[in-house]
C-alpha cells in the first residue's frame, strides 16, 4: 500500500500504534506497565549518591534517579518528569525541568521566552504564529515553543492546543508543594503519542484488527529475528546484551572490492529504523564490515543524515581504537522483546 497509514489498535489487550509508509513499518509504540515518559510527579528527595552526582527520589511508583544533587536536601519536595524507561532492577530516570508537550505547542514553565520552530521559514506564517502565541499566552509568564507541525495548521487548533497546555501546567504547578509523593499527570499513551508526533498527512485506521489488515503483525514477526537483510548478500545482526547492543555487519558472499563500504552504507540507512522498532537504546557498538579508512567520512555522513530524522536523542560518539563505531542512544522505549514475548 502506497502512502502513510497510522493504525491505532490493541495487541494482546495492550494499546498500540503503528506507522506504515508505503507498506513498510516505520515506527511502533506499545503501552507498558512501567511509568510512561512524560509522567510528572511531586517527588521527595531521599538520599544523594556519593561520587555519582545524582540523587534518589521517592515517587508513588517507586524509586527514581535524578542526575543532579546540588541544592537538594533530603525530605525536600520537587517536581520531576519521567525521561525514559528504567532498565530492569534500576530506578526510574527523571528530569528536574518539566515540560508540557502537545501536537503544536510545548509549554516550558522553567524556561521563559517564546520560540517558533526554525523549520518554519515563511515570514508571514511566523508572524501569524507570533500573534497566536501572544494572544494565548497573555498574562502567562511560562515559556512557549511552537513546533514545526504548526506550519499550515488551523489557527484555532493551535490556540486551543497552547491554552490546554498552559492550563495543564498551571494545574500541575499548583500541587508542587507537599510532604508526600504524588502522581500529578500521566504521560501520553501510544495513541496520544501518535496524534502528537506523527503529524504528516496520513490515513488513519482505528478499527479492531487494523494491525493485521495493514501488515503490522507480519512486520513484528520479522523483528524477532536478530538478522536483518540489507539487500544483495549483506546483512547485520542486532543483538542486545545486558551491557550494550552489538551490531555485527557481514558482506555475505560478496567479494567485490567495495563490498564492505556498500554493506556499511546500507547499515547507516537502516540502523535508526531497526533500533526504533526494536526499542533499543543505551550503548550501541557497530562491528562494521572492513572498509578503507578513507571511506569512514562517507559512512559517518550517511549515518548522521539517517539519525537526523529519528525522534529519539542519539549521540554518534565515534570510532574506537579497534575500529568499532559507538553510539549512545536514550532509553526512551522498552525493548520490543520485553513487550511482546
Query: pLDDT tens-digit profile of 123-141?
Result: 999 999 999 999 999 999 9
User: What pLDDT, on the 0 to 100 scale, is given for residue 254?
Assistant: 79
- Do 143 and 90 fall within a single domain? no
133-162 residue pLDDT tens: 999 999 999 999 999 999 999 999 999 999
Regions of the chain with pLDDT less than 70: none
* The overall pTM is greater than 0.75: yes
User: What pLDDT, on the 0 to 100 scale, is given for residue 68?
Assistant: 85
Q: Does residue 236 contact residue 248 with C-beta atoms inside 8 Å?
A: yes
User: What pLDDT, on the 0 to 100 scale, is given for residue 70?
Assistant: 84
288 in any annotated domain: yes
User: What pLDDT, on the 0 to 100 scale, is given for residue 213?
Assistant: 95
- Do 233 and 299 fall within a single domain? yes
Based on the structure, what is the number of domains in the chain? 4
Q: Does residue 307 contact residue 274 with C-beta atoms inside 8 Å?
A: no
H-assigned helices in the chain: 123-136, 155-173, 190-197, 210-214, 216-222, 259-278, 296-308, 336-339
CA distance linking residue 313 with residue 74, whole number of Å: 31
193 in any annotated domain: no
Residue of 91, 109, 112, 89 whose CA lies nearest to 101: 109
User: What pLDDT, on the 0 to 100 scale, is given for residue 247?
Assistant: 98
- Residue 57's CATH number: 2.40.50.140
- Do 93 and 104 fall within a single domain? no
- Do 76 and 150 fall within a single domain? no
- Do 322 and 290 fall within a single domain? yes
Cell of 336: 520490543
128 in any annotated domain: yes
User: What pLDDT, on the 0 to 100 scale, is given for residue 257?
Assistant: 82
- Do 170 and 158 fall within a single domain? yes
291 in any annotated domain: yes
CA distance linking residue 146 with residue 65, whole number of Å: 30
Cell 568499532 maps to which residue? 324
Domain that holds residue 156: 100-176+184-188
Amino acid at each position: 500500500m502506497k502512502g502513510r497509514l497510522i493504525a491505532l489498535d490493541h495487541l494482546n489487550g495492550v494499546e498500540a500504534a503503528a506507522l506504515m509508509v508505503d507498506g513498510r513499518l516505520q515506527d511502533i509504540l506499545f503501552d507498558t506497565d512501567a511509568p510512561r515518559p512524560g509522567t510528572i510527579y511531586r517527588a521527595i528527595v531521599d538520599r544523594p549518591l556519593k561520587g555519582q552526582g545524582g540523587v534518589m527520589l521517592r515517587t508513588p511508583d517507586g524509586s527514581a534517579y535524578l542526575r543532579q544533587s546540588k541544592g537538594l536536601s533530603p525530605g525536600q519536595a520537587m517536581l520531576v518528569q519521567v525521561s525514559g524507561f528504567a532498565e530492569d532492577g534500576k530506578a526510574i530516570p527523571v528530569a528536574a525541568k518539566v515540560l508540557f508537550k502537545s501536537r503544536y505547542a510545548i509549554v516550558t514553565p522553567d524556561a521563559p521566552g517564546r520560540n517558533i520552530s526554525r523549520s518554519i521559514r515563511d515570514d508571514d506564517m511566523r508572524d501569524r504564529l507570533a500573534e497566536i502565541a501572544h494572544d494565548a499566552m497573555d498574562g502567562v509568564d511560562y515559556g512557549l515553543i511552537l513546533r514545526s507541525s504548526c506550519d499550515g495548521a488551523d489557527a484555532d487548533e493551535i490556540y486551543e492546543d497552547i491554552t490546554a497546555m498552559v492550563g495543564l501546567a498551571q494545574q500541575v504547578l499548583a500541587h508542587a508543594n507537599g510532604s508526600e509523593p504524588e502522581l500529578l499527570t500521566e504521560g501520553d499513551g501510544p495513541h496520544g503519542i501518535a496524534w502528537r508526533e506523527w503529524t504528516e498527512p496520513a490515513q488513519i485506521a482505528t478499527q479492531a484488527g487494523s494491525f493485521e489488515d495493514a501488515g503490522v503483525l507480519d512486520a513484528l514477526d520479522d523483528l524477532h529475528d536478530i538478522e536483518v537483510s540489507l539487500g544483495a548478500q549483506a546483512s547485520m545482526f542486532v543483538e542486545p546484551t545486558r551491557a550494550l547492543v552489538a551490531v555485527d555487519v557481514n558482506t555475505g558472499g560478496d567479494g567485490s572490492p567495495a563490498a564492505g563500504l556498500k554493506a556499511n552504507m546500507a547499515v547507516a540507512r537502516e540502523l535508526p529504523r531497526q533500533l526504533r522498532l526494536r526499542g533499543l537504546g543505551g550503548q550501541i557498538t557497530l562491528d562494521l564490515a572492513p572498509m578503507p579508512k578513507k571511506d569512514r567520512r562517507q559512512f559517518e555522513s550517511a549515518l548522521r543524515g539517517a539519525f537526523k530524522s529519528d525522534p529519539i536523542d542519539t549521540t554518534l560518539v565515534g570510532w574506537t581504537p579497534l575500529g568499532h563505531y559507538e553510539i549512545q542512544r536514550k532509553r526512551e522505549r522498552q525493548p520490543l522483546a520485553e513487550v511482546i514475548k
